[in-house]
Structure 1
Amino acid sequence: MRRQHYGVPLERSDCLELRRHRNSCKPENFGKWLGGFGADKRLAVDLFSGAGGLSLGLERAGWTVAAAVDFDERALQTHAANFPGMSLHMDLGNPDERDRLVEILEPAKIDLVAGGPPCQPFSRAGRSKIRSLVEHHGRDPHDRRKELWSAYLDVVKRLRPRAVLMENVPDMGLGDDFFVVRTIEEQLEDLGYATQIRLVDAWKYGVPQHRKRLILLARNDVECFSWRKELEHDQRTTLRDAIGDLPVLPVVPTERVGQRELPYEEPSELSKFAQDMRKRARKDRVWDHMTRRVRADDAEIFSSMDSTTLYSQISPELQRYKADHFTDKYKKLDWSDLSRSITAHIAKDGYWYIHPDQEQPRTLTVRESARVQTFPDKFRFAGTRSDAFRQIGNAVPPLLGEAAAEALLPVGDGQSAEGGLRPHWRTVREDLTAWARGQRDAENWYQLPGRHMSGLQAAVVAILSGTRMQPAQLSAMVEVVRGLTSMNTASLEALTTAAPTEAAKARVARLSVMVGESSAWEDEKKVRESLMLKPAEATVYRLLIAEDLLWVGQGALRVAARLHGSASDRTNRLSDGRVDLVKLVGAGEDAPLRMAALRLIGTSICRAKEPVCDACPLSQYCADRESLSSDHLFTEVPNETNDRDTVPAQSRQAGRTVGRR
């Protein structure tokens, strides 16, 4: 074999062909399957199934996958070999294909629709890759994969299952202020589903790796999502628990590492996790315990590393990459810790997954990677070694899928509620919207978006949002520009005169650059750039001109956390805190109004200290109200104010009116 510049012989592994599962079927005999193997079973559909990580999780939780759908032929071969039911090759982005799928499934009673729409455009790594392809390789900037969540939702709407499970990367939510997730939730609620969003650490459910995922659940039978108890840190599955029993592979640089089939000898002590992975596997054999050949210099590097070694600390004469650009190019795993997250990148190289054993200077094998993803040893992957790595990296860890699916198990007779459910949080949002509309029509008009709020007024509130002044002073200043859509010299002078402090006058002076620019106030980007709005100011401005975004301020997070009975505003503000906030903001044209209302409540009523619960329109829904000590409850809004945390006290009466129906 020719070595070229890779330092090892170029090779392709053999291509594994797998026979279909004995209880698999095709569309033409699906009816017969339903009357035979599928009879009296709780049926699920797995969209964008890949090799079947989520399918296996559903199976472990008690469902039978009637149909799995994907566009990756190798992954579908894997699915067809490991599961009963149909493994369908379809492009769900094509409406005709969705029509065909719904027609095929028409005879079945589908209890659950699950899936993970392709997530590359949502992840940071994926967005960077796509941007590069657009800029340098002519890639269409409108990536259709972004809309596949809509295709997923379309199938759900047409099948109307009792339960829905969607899995994705956290950036699907965090990257766009949960816009897509909020939209999906809103549409599911319109159909009578109760929903739940969770950001889940996979290791807390037995997965031996650092992996955080976004899980969206929905059901229309009961409003209940009961997850099993999470594991504590000292109960986690370590890498040694996960792969320590697998055969040691001798490494000779540039020679083949591992084989498709190797002898397996069970050690005297086998971890509980490994026992689970070995179920129904051949007792004396392990499959697919193989990985890439190792360069001589890499073998030397791997042997000299431990789990804390950075690439920059590797001997300079052995470095092939610029250490300042590739700070984490190599990562050696730790026996006593979790693996780093297994991703599809492992199909390209395994440098992030160097085996922890000093005597095995190599990267993880296919079987080890499958174990870290919680695929059992009996599970085989069709295609070449690279195909297997890619399928494993793209998969949902089955143990995580199982935990999520368990939260959707039927309660009682498992029948959908007649007419669907009216979810609790939808009711909360309706009350919040009604209160906000009342406030918008009263003295607090300038704190809330609507037709009364021009770009000029939004900009004035934004630049003053960080100053310290009494609510009445802020109100008086904004009244000067009420009804105006542009600024002239006279209105700027009047606003300056109304400013109560030198700091406020200095902020007002920033508006001078747009005096006489009548049309510019309608250009959101130009306003932000001309006034040089700071990030926090720009967020307030955008919110007040009715942009759909999450204002992740401490006040709003505090309201959301108290309503949920959580500590997310103090522990995980930017992740779990946002998830709690999402339930209150929702989606649709009133979402910006609700977001601004939460800002208003959080900065004037639901204070960290001295909350005015009697004035809060959401007090009847507050999980934390009873736990707040009586000396923290007030019947009037305190006089001490900070412009970032207050609004006029006139909100008190409106709060009582709407909050106490």
Structure 2
Amino acid sequence: MATSPLIGQRTAALALSAHPEAFAEEELQEWAAKQIAGGRPIAIDLFSGAGGLSAGIEASGWSVAAAVDLDRRALETHRHNFPGLSLQLDLGDPEVRDEFVGRFENVTVDLVAGGPPCQPFSRAGRSKIRSLVEAGTRDEVDLRKELWRAFLDVALRLKPRAVLMENVPDMGLGDDFAVVRIMVDELESQGYVTQVKLADAWHYGVPQHRKRLILLARNDGQDFDWPEKQPEITTLWEGIGDLPDLDGGRGDRDLTYHQPDEPGPFLARMRDGAPEGVIHDHMTRGVRPDDLEIFKLMDSRTLYSEIPVHLRRYAADSFTDKYKRLGWKELSRSITAHIAKDGYWYIHPDQHRTLTVREAARVQTFPDRFRFAGTRSDAFRQIGNAVPPMLGEAASSALLSQGAAVTGTEDRPRWLDARHALATWGQNQAQSTYWFALPGPGMTAPAALAAATMSSGRFPLDEVGTAVSYFRGLAYFNSEPIYGALEAVPSAKRALARLLPLMRKRAIWRGPDEPAEIVRLNASERRIYDMLRGSDVLLRSQGVLRLAARVAGTSSHETNRLTEGRMDVARLVGSGSEAPTRMAAIRLLAATTCLPNRRDCGACPLATWCLTHRAELALAAGSQDEVVDPVGDCAEVPLDLALPHADHLPAERGELGRCATVTVGVGG
């Protein structure tokens, strides 16, 4: 099929001059002193890209003294739009970091911010690394210099009052928040209080679907005060509806612009500082004739599979959303760096073309005065990689200093102490009758596998303990332990029978994976198996999510289990060698003391830090009523397997609760 002569035409690269107030490197100290004297504290932006986060930070009241990146075009963009230093440095090199930190020896940095590129730790990768460590063929500490570690290293060495890291949600959701948990632990160990938030950009005025993971830290004892969420979306019409119709053309670097007589608040913000009567970079790609025919058939709800077969260039089953026309009254889909390759996800609401550079910049909330260096594709890539400035402003404003540091606060952050108490409690339980629910000396691979196979059956804890005890400390097993367990716990016959193919097969126990594959553990059982063997995983059962939400003072276990719910669990589990013990301890507490409708807070090691418990105590104290933890009628029933901290506990079978037995929370 013939290609339109417009296709393939490249725009000339736009060269941008430095900001008119730019200063030389040797003037950094003097410039910073003037900014601070003028009431603007100093920030630095690491892995800055074109400067979306920098723009938000400056809008909040900081001055960005330096931005660091490797992208030459993005740095040229940053240098044009901001007066601070724009440095092309590889922060993955420790010597380069040393030199960079040294530049600020006599400069007080108030905020270190950035969005380090991050590939999450895959669970498969972590399992392989652990096997290599156990085999002695790899050091326990990975010496590679991941860029998130470089970001954290610079932040901890500069010791700013506040830290802000922005990233895609996959940085957390893709690896059980492993990277985030490490960063939080490191910051909290240095006296910072932290907050981790999955923020929807539209809540802060950004006219697109875009969720970002935001890590905030501060050491001034003050709260994180985010601006109020915007109740209504900023529609695409409000975002780009004023821009001139290209009438089938590709646009240009500079076009005539007529501003509406009564611009709305979003448009007024976008036009602030822009030249009157001119719109920059309102240009896009040409459209292939076959694509033009497709575009003409589409509205905002048309699926690619609904396009006539003879017009499709891609398989509809593989590319279900290959083309997307946006809607005027809706949010745009997320602007990503892929827009530099093609604009099929971003077809204009009523013109038969894809979005322009300026339209994409508007959707990302870059003001019209902001220019992008390089070609049209360079500009699209920089825009797609950027933090929306209005989201950056909302996040950074949550770190603003409200004056003098608060005194009389706890020396160590609440979460740090809660994790320490949880680990200590879990270690104690590993030496008790509950050893079978936690990692420990006797929890060898056969014992962990037996416990995992019973995790989906809602067996009472005493039955689980009895069955798993036959495998305690074994490196492999023959017929004696498995038939002993089957005879002792007949109700678990179906679960334990899955272990029969493993008898007398010593070789399969050399690594953790083959036994699990032979038994065919499901995803939930595999997480429990890995946890009991000491691997760092997060469980997702309702009981675990419920307990974490109560400690955090949220309702994430009911509203956002897969995102905020897992994040609450991550905050409580933390990182490091004790993380598996803490995870197992949460699971055990959720099955014994922190039930759906009854709790024994007096037996819970987390009661001191549990916001739900503290709120109830405060409410009771305020009403001058006697403070009674809501344990319920089952508190009178003695258990054969009582926790060391209490003689009488309520009990749970699944999520309903039964006084006669205690059961482990279902699944992982």
Q: Is the shorter-chain TM-score for this pair beyond 0.5, marking a shared fold?
A: yes
Deviations 1:494-513 (A, max 9, x none): 11111132xx1122222222
TM-score normalised to the size of structure 2?
A: 0.88
The answer to whether 1:408 aligns with 2:399 is yes
**Whole-angstrom distance in 1 between the partners of 2:597 and 2:81:** 57
Deviation at 1:623, TM superposition (A): 2.2
- Which residue, out of 420, 428, 432, partners 1:438? 428
- Which residue, out of 581, 588, 608, partners 1:620? 608
Give the direction of change, closer, same or farther, for the CA distance of 1:335–1:282 in structure 2 (3 Å limit).
same
**Whole-angstrom distance in 1 between the partners of 2:218 and 2:20:** 32
**Whole-angstrom distance in 1 between the partners of 2:247 and 2:65:** 43
Contact conserved, 2:598 with 2:632, CA < 8 A, in 1? yes
Contact conserved, 2:201 with 2:391, CA < 8 A, in 1? yes
The answer to whether 1:610 aligns with 2:598 is yes
- Which residue, out of 364, 382, 402, partners 2:355? 364
Deviation at 1:314, TM superposition (A): 1.4
Give the direction of change, closer, same or farther, for the CA distance of 1:275–1:616 in structure 2 (3 Å limit).
same
**Whole-angstrom distance in 2 between the partners of 1:250 and 1:420:** 63
Deviation at 1:406, TM superposition (A): 0.8
Contact conserved, 1:192 with 1:419, CA < 8 A, in 2? no
Q: Which runs of 5+ in 1 are unaligned?
A: 128-142, 642-646, 657-661
Partner of residue 395, structure 1: 386
**Whole-angstrom distance in 1 between the partners of 2:30 and 2:595:** 62
**Whole-angstrom distance in 2 between the partners of 1:372 and 1:411:** 31
Farther-moved stretch of structure 1 (468-477 vs 236-245):
468-477
Q: Which amino acid aligns with 1:615?
A: A
Partner of residue 56, structure 1: 55
The answer to whether 1:10 aligns with 2:14 is no
**Whole-angstrom distance in 1 between the partners of 2:162 and 2:570:** 21
Contact conserved, 1:465 with 1:537, CA < 8 A, in 2? yes
Partner of residue 235, structure 2: 238
**Whole-angstrom distance in 1 between the partners of 2:629 and 2:51:** 55
Deviation at 1:316, TM superposition (A): 2.3
**Whole-angstrom distance in 2 between the partners of 1:4 and 1:302:** 17
The answer to whether 1:586 aligns with 2:586 is no
Q: Which amino acid aligns with 1:193?
A: Y
Give the direction of change, closer, same or farther, for the CA distance of 1:512–1:396 in structure 2 (3 Å limit).
same
- Which residue, out of 393, 414, 429, partners 1:424? 414
SS in 2 for 1:167: strand
SS in 2 for 1:342: coil
Give the direction of change, closer, same or farther, for the CA distance of 1:640–1:567 in structure 2 (3 Å limit).
farther
**Whole-angstrom distance in 2 between the partners of 1:640 and 1:333:** 62
**Whole-angstrom distance in 1 between the partners of 2:238 and 2:369:** 18
Q: Which amino acid aligns with 1:452?
A: G
Matches within 5 A, 1:94-109: 94-109=93-108
Q: Which amino acid aligns with 1:361?
A: H
**Whole-angstrom distance in 2 between the partners of 1:514 and 1:7:** 66
The answer to whether 1:599 aligns with 2:587 is yes
Contact conserved, 2:447 with 2:469, CA < 8 A, in 1? no
Deviation at 1:244, TM superposition (A): 0.8
Partner of residue 284, structure 1: 277
Deviation at 1:463, TM superposition (A): 0.8
Give the direction of change, closer, same or farther, for the CA distance of 1:412–1:166 in structure 2 (3 Å limit).
same
Give the direction of change, closer, same or farther, for the CA distance of 1:468–1:371 in structure 2 (3 Å limit).
closer
**Whole-angstrom distance in 1 between the partners of 2:34 and 2:215:** 32
Contact conserved, 1:614 with 1:635, CA < 8 A, in 2? no
Deviations 1:632-660 (A, max 9, x none): 5238558799xxxxx9433552999xxxx
Deviation at 1:521, TM superposition (A): 3.1
**Whole-angstrom distance in 2 between the partners of 1:222 and 1:297:** 60
Deviation at 1:31, TM superposition (A): 3.0
The answer to whether 1:547 aligns with 2:506 is no
Partner of residue 633, structure 1: 631
Q: Which amino acid aligns with 1:262?
A: L
Deviation at 1:609, TM superposition (A): 2.2
Contact conserved, 1:610 with 1:638, CA < 8 A, in 2? no
**Whole-angstrom distance in 2 between the partners of 1:507 and 1:123:** 32
Q: Which amino acid aligns with 2:386?
A: A
Give the direction of change, closer, same or farther, for the CA distance of 1:319–1:472 in structure 2 (3 Å limit).
closer
Partner of residue 623, structure 2: none
**Whole-angstrom distance in 1 between the partners of 2:55 and 2:439:** 47
Deviations 1:265-305 (A, max 9, x none): 11133221011111111121111111111122222221221
SS in 1 for 2:447: helix
Farther-moved stretch of structure 1 (69-78 vs 295-304):
295-304
Matches within 5 A, 1:151-550: 151-232=150-231, 235-251=232-248, 256-357=249-350, 360-413=351-404, 421-501=411-491, 504-550=492-538
Deviations 1:481-532 (A, max 9, x none): 333332122222211111132xx11222222222122353342101201221
**Whole-angstrom distance in 1 between the partners of 2:298 and 2:50:** 33
Farther-moved stretch of structure 1 (441-450 vs 464-473):
464-473
Deviation at 1:457, TM superposition (A): 1.0
**Whole-angstrom distance in 1 between the partners of 2:208 and 2:426:** 44
Give the direction of change, closer, same or farther, for the CA distance of 1:247–1:637 in structure 2 (3 Å limit).
same
Q: Which amino acid aligns with 1:74?
A: R
Give the direction of change, closer, same or farther, for the CA distance of 1:421–1:116 in structure 2 (3 Å limit).
farther
Aligned pair count reads: 620
SS in 2 for 1:105: coil
Partner of residue 18, structure 2: 20
Give the direction of change, closer, same or farther, for the CA distance of 1:106–1:372 in structure 2 (3 Å limit).
same
**Whole-angstrom distance in 1 between the partners of 2:102 and 2:408:** 24
**Whole-angstrom distance in 2 between the partners of 1:524 and 1:302:** 52
**Whole-angstrom distance in 2 between the partners of 1:631 and 1:158:** 45
TM-score normalised to the size of structure 1?
A: 0.89
Farther-moved stretch of structure 1 (600-609 vs 542-551):
600-609
Contact conserved, 2:282 with 2:359, CA < 8 A, in 1? yes
Contact conserved, 2:365 with 2:390, CA < 8 A, in 1? yes
Deviations 1:151-199 (A, max 9, x none): 1111112111111000000000110111111011111112111111001
SS in 1 for 2:197: strand
Contact conserved, 1:444 with 1:651, CA < 8 A, in 2? no
Identity of aligned residues (%): 50
Contact conserved, 2:19 with 2:79, CA < 8 A, in 1? yes
Q: Which amino acid aligns with 2:587?
A: R
Deviations 1:405-443 (A, max 9, x none): 01111132259x899951011111111112112211111
Give the direction of change, closer, same or farther, for the CA distance of 1:420–1:35 in structure 2 (3 Å limit).
farther
**Whole-angstrom distance in 2 between the partners of 1:35 and 1:588:** 40
Contact conserved, 1:289 with 1:366, CA < 8 A, in 2? yes
Deviation at 1:330, TM superposition (A): 0.5
SS in 1 for 2:112: strand
Contact conserved, 1:604 with 1:637, CA < 8 A, in 2? no
SS in 2 for 1:536: helix
Deviation at 1:65, TM superposition (A): 0.1
Q: Which amino acid aligns with 1:168?
A: N
Contact conserved, 1:556 with 1:581, CA < 8 A, in 2? yes
Deviation at 1:4, TM superposition (A): 7.2
**Whole-angstrom distance in 2 between the partners of 1:635 and 1:184:** 43
Give the direction of change, closer, same or farther, for the CA distance of 1:31–1:614 in structure 2 (3 Å limit).
closer
**Whole-angstrom distance in 2 between the partners of 1:420 and 1:98:** 32
Give the direction of change, closer, same or farther, for the CA distance of 1:423–1:293 in structure 2 (3 Å limit).
same
